[in-house]
Amino acid sequence: MKEFLKLILISFLFGVFSIHHSFSQSINAGVPILEETIRRQQILGKLDRNYSFFVRPLVLNDELLDSLGDLKSPYFSDIYRSKKSYFGLTPVISTTTYNSSRPYGWGNKGLLPNVGFQSYLSAGFAGKFRFLKFQFQPEFVYAENRPFEGFSSEFSSSVIRSRFFYWNNGDNPERFGDQPINRLWWGQSEFLLSFGPVDMGISTRSIWWGPGRYNSLTFSDNAESFPHLTLQTNRPIKTPIGHFEGQILIGRLENSLLEPSQSDSLNRRLFRRFDGDWRYLNAMHLTYQPSFLQGLFLGFSRTFQQYNQFRGNTFNDWFPIFEVFQKKSLFTNGNSVQYDSRGQDQQVVVSFRFLSPKGRFEIYSEYGRRDHAFDWRDFIMNPEHARAFLLGFQKLVPLEKPESYLQISGELTHQQESVNRYIRYRGLIGNQTWHTHGLARGFVNRGESLGVGQGVGSNVQTLEISKVERFNKLGLLFERIENHQDFFYRAFGQSSEKSPWVDYSLALLWDQQWNKLLFSSKVQWVKAYNYQWQSSGISSVDFPPSSSKNALFVELSLIYQISKN
């Protein structure tokens, strides 16, 4: 094992110091249209297949940009360029959303769960001078933030306590205050030192780890970005045993400091308030593409967060990502209570993606665990404990018109606790769910989950069928969401008279390019069954009459490239 690790290290260093000079530019993680189009080009075999899409923002060098041909024009256009430097304006990105009667939608950076109109605006500049790279692209968000029907205060005390169990072990408020919201933030900005294929510096850009298109178990573009120090690759590093990509970061996460329920009386009685401390984050990701099996990508991620007041000053306190996996090895004199009192929240995720340009398809998956196993026996005997997983695929079918394809893609994200709850806990109450923790609380920034955005303990299935041609798309998207399933079973058990809150939705998708302007739109009709766990045909404290709520969600985005051309 040690010899194998030495081989990986030597190969990695060989790749790092095999430096060749090339300009590179990056596209923001989750930017509408552009990221999806570039990924589609790779599936079609028109882009370097060594890029895993596991570490985003995606950085593309000159050679790869040239392979995109005129597809790069709406984004990659410089104002000035010389042999060792360049300068250009980033695109102006504007997004407007509308929710008619309840919050819906996720994966939209600084935008919030909100009812009414909401707007996002971002623009700036980027450049490089010798080994210095920089981007300044702030974000401004305005949210109307209208009131809506939330969790009922009329349930019995046991049901209400079950709801607050997850609110107290996370940070996911129903509504972000009671006033309209205005916020200006550094957004997609960074200042880096670049040494060949490796960058290091400070950043507030959104990051995405993993192969998912609609979700990620670790980092996605769901929450507002956070400040972090980063050491990262800017392209796949070629070694004798394959290609590597990766990132190590130290970040600062903030809580929303908001009460979770819209009921003041419930908050006063049951909410465990924040003390104002921030959370220290240490995280790493590594992707490996074996040289003997092109098209296969294997990923590993590990994150640790804890309130800063509990962090020590040893190397392991600053970089817990390098500590062992067996919890018993970390105890002091066998004292597990002393270890758990540090309040560290860990998530480990393994992932894969298989890409076949010949077959014009990709499949991918993630499997995560958010708690240390006691030892390897515990891990082997009980692998289902504290897990979440994601599965997805994408297939392109050529149509008669050149460069026109039928795009079929689907993704399943499952956060609900497994059957492990039957054997580990008394009854069906369950315990923590993905992105929650007893002491570190939620894996969130400013009240929004850093990874999966549909709500803790929720499951989602997504299917998209579209006709695509270059940047243009016309299609349908189907979604089904089982909301907060862990709360549902904790509160209601297996009562045959009670049904989960499930959302069904249908969306029309339309993307279009007009010269330097890209337009992206989604109009989504949402039907909620048993909204907020109200039940059909029953009327009692814990079984109020059913409310099947209809809602409309609209999202419109404009991307405009300012250039001298």
* pLDDT at residue number 11: 47
Q: For residue 138, which of 151, 156, 150, 126 has the smallest C-alpha distance?
A: 126
**Four-residue CA torsion sign, 215, 221, 227, 232:** positive
pLDDT in tens, 74-115: 666 677 888 788 888 888 999 999 999 999 999 888 899 999
Contacts for 272 with CB less than 8 Å, ≥ 6 apart = 168
User: Which two structure tokens, joined as six digits, stand for 352?
Assistant: 């894969």
E strands within 374-497?
387-398, 404-414, 444-445, 448-449, 459-469, 472-482
3-state secondary structure of 311: coil
pLDDT tens for the chain, 565 residues long, are 445 445 444 444 444 444 444 556 788 898 889 899 999 999 999 888 899 999 999 887 766 776 676 666 666 667 788 878 888 888 899 999 999 999 999 988 889 999 999 999 999 999 999 899 999 999 999 999 999 999 999 899 999 999 999 999 999 999 999 999 999 999 999 999 999 899 999 999 999 999 999 999 999 999 999 999 999 999 999 999 999 999 999 999 999 999 999 999 999 999 999 999 999 999 999 999 999 998 999 999 999 999 999 999 999 899 999 988 776 666 665 555 566 677 889 999 999 999 999 999 999 999 999 877 777 777 777 777 889 999 999 999 999 998 999 999 999 999 998 877 767 766 667 788 999 998 999 899 999 999 999 999 999 999 999 999 999 999 999 999 999 999 998 888 777 778 899 999 999 999 999 988 999 999 999 999 999 988 755 555 655 655 668 999 999 999 998 765 5
Q: Amino acid identity, residue 281?
A: L
DSSP letter, residue 67:
H
CATH number for the domain running over 2-165+188-560: 2.40.160.130
- Three-state DSSP at 284 gives strand
**Residue 373 one-letter amino acid:** A
pLDDT given at position 538: 56
Contacts 24+ apart (CB under 8 A), 124-129: 124/89, 124/90, 124/187, 124/188, 124/189, 125/87, 125/88, 125/89, 125/90, 126/25, 126/87, 126/88, 126/89, 126/90, 127/85, 127/86, 127/87, 127/88, 128/23, 128/85, 128/86, 128/194, 129/84, 129/85
| Residue 200, pLDDT score | 96
Task: Compute CA distances 322 → 110, 235, 285, 437, whole Å.
Answer: 31, 24, 12, 21
The DSSP code for 373 is B
CA-based nearest residue to 65, from 56, 74, 55: 74
pTM for the full model?
0.90
Residue 8: phi and psi, rounded to 5, are -65, -45
Q: CA-CA distance, 188 to 518, in Å (whole number)?
A: 19
Residue among 47, 43, 1, 50 at smallest CA distance from 290: 50
Q: What is the DSSP letter of 456?
A: T
Give the pLDDT confidence score for residue 12 in this predicted structure: 47
CA torsion angle 113 178 255 444 (round to 10):
-10
DSSP letters spanning 351-364: EEEEEETTTTEEEE
CB neighbour list of residue 280: distance below 8 Å, 6 or more residues apart:
250, 251, 252, 253, 305, 306, 307, 308, 311
Distance CA 121, CA 549 (A): 31
Q: How far apart are CA 413 and CA 364, in angstroms?
A: 12
Helix-then-strand count for the chain, H and E: 10, 28
Q: What is the largest CA-CA distance in the chain?
A: 74
The per-residue pLDDT for 18 is 45
Task: For residues 180 and 143, give the distance between their C-alpha atoms in angstroms, rounded to a whole number.
Answer: 6
DSSP 335: B
Please check whether residue 35 is in contact with residue 74, taking contact to mean a CB–CB distance below 8 angstroms.
Answer: no
Tokens 């010798």 found at: 130
Torsion of CA 53, 56, 62, 67, to 10 degrees: 30
Across the chain, what does the average pLDDT equal? Answer: 87
Q: What pLDDT, on the 0 to 100 scale, is given for residue 244?
A: 96
| 3-class DSSP state of 391 | strand
CA-CA distance, 112 to 143, in Å (whole number)? Answer: 8
Question: Would you state the pLDDT for residue 323?
Answer: 86
DSSP 8-class letter at 169: T
- Structure-derived torsion over alpha carbons of residues 170, 175, 178, 183, reported in degrees to the nearest 10: 80
What is the rounded CA–CA span in Å between residue 353 and residue 297?
A: 5
DSSP H or E stretch at residue 441 = none
Q: Are 262 and 299 in contact (CB under 8 A)?
A: no
DSSP letter at 547 equals: -
Rounded to whole angstroms, how far apart are CA atoms 47 and 62?
12
